[in-house]
Structure 1
Amino acid sequence: MRKIRLAIVRQKYRPDGGAERFISRALEALDDNSLELNIITRSWQGEPKPEWHLHICNPKKWGRISRERGFAVAARTCWQREQFDIVQSHERIVGCDIFRAGDGVHRVWLEQRARIISPFQRTLTQLSGYHRYVMAAEEAMFRSPSLKKIICNSLMVKNDIIRCFQVPEEKFAVIYNAIDSQRFMPATSAQRQQSRDKLGLPDGAKVFIYVGSGFERKGLKASIEALASTSAHLLVVGQDKQQSRYRQLAQRLGCEERIHFCGVQNNVIPFYHAADGLILPTLYDPFPNVILEAMACGLPVITSFTCGGAEFIVNGQQGYVCDALDVPALTSALQAVPLRSADSSMGDAARERVRNCSPAALADQLHALYQQVLQHA
């Protein structure tokens, strides 16, 4: 039996990125004798497996538009030359068979971002050639007859695409990201104590964790404002060029001693183990992996309606969902999440909710999707 030649397109492959973690889990899960795996990328960090075929497409670039357009042309040239059976793109490129909408809809992100930027910045965004290019590329791809299937990692993104581009229902496959529930597990009381001691957290303190780089989009400002009127601590795992601005905000609100900037961490698990809940009131996020990680570690999650992860949360059961900018509602949620050492029922419900998001389930869904696409080729 001839192997299916699958090409996955990702402009820049960084092992720590959310899309890359989806790809690597999918590739590992799909790594069997029926598939020949090809990666079309501009640059690859880390060690690919010897049986993966790398196709480096790295044309010269002079700015953001030329970077996007140049890679799109080079990637399409590569896959047309190689005549792959299936091309699955994680970039907005016309002509792919499958598109994974891991970044959501650019137009919707700009609508949400407009809520927190100045009128001058809104005007700049409207005039930006880059944003216009991305929206045009996105529209052309979604309207292309070549596009057979769209993988969404949340119903929110599926609904956004239908609303913006009137794509028919049958083109969608909602496939949630996978989480390794054997690696991401709730802390034992000893692990919790050890993590808290190492971070210098006081005994009996309620501790929340925020994980993500790009503080503006992921809602760190609202998180700090909400936390200021509680006695809880916040572990900020991630980095941002504007970090000093968030430190100053914490100082102004008188809670700087309870906000701990921990930087980027290769292993976030000990930080989850120190926490009682995750807070991520993101302005727009298709479905961040950190929500799955936190829930697998037995943490209730506080997030926003504009986060795909909200689909996994019923208020008061696995956490709380509110508007990304509703600080009083976020404060109430912070107060309502219990100390895990006193009551773990909400965190246990969170872990139970992600139990089916296994790498094996992801592989089965992708296999079924590829078979569908090949049958209609």
Structure 2
Amino acid sequence: MRMCFVTHKVKKGDGQGRVNYEVIQDAIGHGHRIVIIASELSEDLKNHPQVEWKKISVNGWPSELIRNQIFAVKSTLWLIKLRSLIDFTIVNGFVTYARSHMNCIHFVHSAWLASRYHPYQEGKNFRSFYQYIYTRLNRSLERYAMKRTSTIVAVSDQVKQELVDKADISAEQISVIRNGVDLQEFYPRLVERETLRLSEDTVYAMFAGDIRSSRKNLDTVLKALAEVPDVHLLVVGWTEGSSYPQMAADLGIKDRVHFLGYRKDMAELMSAADLFVYPSRYEPFALVLLEAMAAGLPIIASRNCGAVELLNEEAAVILDDPDDSKALAEAIRSCAFNRNRLKQMGEQAARIARSHSWKDMARHYSRLIEETAHCKTMTAAES
């Protein structure tokens, strides 16, 4: 079968891009020919004999809103040109105006726009107005894209429910395939903390994400940390343009919050930490949670993260209200100073993660692609 993937990125180190990468690798292993319409492609796929890359460059355009539209128009033109050569088309959300056979949804703009945590609900200014326009347009476009596909894949039960409730998509059309994790990279291991300039005697909580966005909710983590003495926080994420270093200073916890910037040694850092704290205000899945679980970290997260549906009370503390700093402080306190509990929670988290490898995820996609292609063939034969 000649398959076409239409997406912005196909590469490791990017949540959605990694999903695309693993599904394509599995398809190659099954002998399929692959056409990739994307802006970025992993180096090992660029010269692969079974892969043909149609690069769409969107560099230089002033905003993501415009870049996405440029990509959608160009990808549509490519699909029209390749229509007679392609047997099966897979897209991610709204990336083209053309029809597809499968659409994989990693973020639901309809749900995000309705959320009380959307920037426009938190304050009216130029930036939040841009976010409102961006999300509203994408809400309409993602609905348009999902009406023009046969099968929809949701990355969590949460996303499936949001598509039903907020985007008016039939539940029968949606299959849930959760993201995977690299078990060769993330696994419980002993790390000498001194190699990372960390103290052996300190309790370290860890947070990772875009700390320039209020959606990830680092502000509540900092407020909670102010109520839990003797616990330090490792923060991974770009600090440029972030207000949180100043917030930590204002709360008097600057010496206990370590802003590490962007890091490539996430697996080692996770293994060096004691627990992972992630009370995101809205997260369709949160791959970083699955990575932390695989590394053997106990989890404290909000119920708004799609990945928590994998967890149980033996591996995690799940918060109903992501903004409740007192509840978060109590959760950190109840875990941080109980080494026995930390050990048991971490072991259970790692056990759960081991059944969610990238290869397992890719096999689920492969089966669904075959089922959808078979239905397409049967429908064509009947007509």
Given the two structures, how large is their TM-score scaled by the length of structure 2? 0.87
Q: Are the aligned partners of 1:276 and 1:340 in contact in 2 as well (CA < 8 Å)?
A: no
Q: Are the aligned partners of 2:238 and 2:262 in contact in 1 as well (CA < 8 Å)?
A: yes
Q: Counterpart of 2:7?
A: 10
Q: Counterpart of 1:56?
A: 55
Q: Counterpart of 1:249?
A: 247
Q: Are the aligned partners of 1:235 and 1:260 in contact in 2 as well (CA < 8 Å)?
A: yes
**Of 111-120 and 17-26, the range deviating more from structure 2:** 111-120
Q: How does 1:36-51 map to 2 (within 5 A)?
A: 36-44=33-41, 46-49=43-46, 50-51=48-49
Given the alignment of the two structures, is residue 239 of structure 1 paired with residue 243 of structure 2, yes or no?
no
Identity of aligned residues (%): 25
> Which one of the candidate residues 218, 221, 232 is aligned to 1:220?
218
Q: Are the aligned partners of 2:11 and 2:20 in contact in 1 as well (CA < 8 Å)?
A: no
Q: Counterpart of 1:197?
A: 194
Deviations 1:17-54 (A, max 9, x none): 11111112222233214311221013446442523210
Q: Counterpart of 1:325?
A: 323
Q: Are the aligned partners of 1:8 and 1:89 in contact in 2 as well (CA < 8 Å)?
A: yes
Q: Are the aligned partners of 2:156 and 2:285 in contact in 1 as well (CA < 8 Å)?
A: yes
Task: Quickly say closer, same or farther: Cα 1:240–1:89, change in 2 above 3 A.
Answer: farther
Distance 1:304 1:127 in 2: 23
> Which one of the candidate residues 12, 17, 21 is aligned to 1:20?
17
Q: Which amino acid aligns with 2:53?
A: L
Distance 2:359 2:136 in 1: 39
Q: Counterpart of 2:68?
A: 68
Given the alignment of the two structures, is residue 299 of structure 1 paired with residue 297 of structure 2, yes or no?
yes
Given the alignment of the two structures, is residue 113 of structure 1 paired with residue 112 of structure 2, yes or no?
no
**Residue 123 (structure 1) shift:** 10
Q: Are the aligned partners of 1:280 and 1:302 in contact in 2 as well (CA < 8 Å)?
A: yes
**Of 245-254 and 7-16, the range deviating more from structure 2:** 7-16
- Paired residues, what number? 364
Given the alignment of the two structures, is residue 125 of structure 1 paired with residue 129 of structure 2, yes or no?
yes
**Residue 166 (structure 1) shift:** 2.3
Q: Are the aligned partners of 2:116 and 2:122 in contact in 1 as well (CA < 8 Å)?
A: no
Q: Counterpart of 1:312?
A: 310
Q: Which amino acid aligns with 1:70?
A: I
Distance 2:338 2:32 in 1: 44
**Residue 151 (structure 1) shift:** 1.2
Q: Which amino acid aligns with 1:291?
A: L
Q: Are the aligned partners of 2:164 and 2:170 in contact in 1 as well (CA < 8 Å)?
A: yes
**Residue 186 (structure 1) shift:** 1.0
Q: Are the aligned partners of 1:234 and 1:260 in contact in 2 as well (CA < 8 Å)?
A: yes
SS state at 2:307 partner: helix
Q: Are the aligned partners of 2:103 and 2:151 in contact in 1 as well (CA < 8 Å)?
A: yes
**Of 53-62 and 72-81, the range deviating more from structure 2:** 53-62
**Residue 81 (structure 1) shift:** 1.9
**Residue 331 (structure 1) shift:** 0.8
Q: How does 1:228-377 map to 2 (within 5 A)?
A: 228-230=226-228, 231-243=230-242, 245-315=243-313, 317-322=314-319, 323-338=321-336, 342-343=340-341, 344-377=343-376
Deviations 1:68-100 (A, max 9, x none): 222112112212321221211124134222111
SS state at 1:229 partner: coil
Deviations 1:218-244 (A, max 9, x none): 11111111111112111111114333x
Q: Are the aligned partners of 1:276 and 1:339 in contact in 2 as well (CA < 8 Å)?
A: no
Q: Counterpart of 2:77?
A: 77
**Residue 199 (structure 1) shift:** 3.5
Given the two structures, how large is their TM-score scaled by the length of structure 1? 0.89
Task: Quickly say closer, same or farther: Cα 1:155–1:128, change in 2 above 3 A.
Answer: closer
Distance 2:231 2:335 in 1: 11
Unaligned runs of 5+ in 2: 377-383
> Which one of the candidate residues 94, 99, 104 is aligned to 2:103?
99
Q: Which amino acid aligns with 2:248?
A: A
Q: Are the aligned partners of 2:5 and 2:91 in contact in 1 as well (CA < 8 Å)?
A: yes
Q: Counterpart of 1:175?
A: 177
Unaligned runs of 5+ in 1: none
**Residue 66 (structure 1) shift:** 3.2
Distance 1:62 1:204 in 2: 48
Q: Counterpart of 2:380?
A: none
Q: Are the aligned partners of 1:205 and 1:232 in contact in 2 as well (CA < 8 Å)?
A: yes
Q: Counterpart of 2:379?
A: none
Distance 1:181 1:14 in 2: 17
**Residue 340 (structure 1) shift:** 8.1
Distance 2:317 2:231 in 1: 17
SS state at 1:58 partner: coil
Distance 1:163 1:134 in 2: 17
Q: Which amino acid aligns with 1:284?
A: Y
Distance 2:111 2:239 in 1: 23
**Residue 115 (structure 1) shift:** 7.1
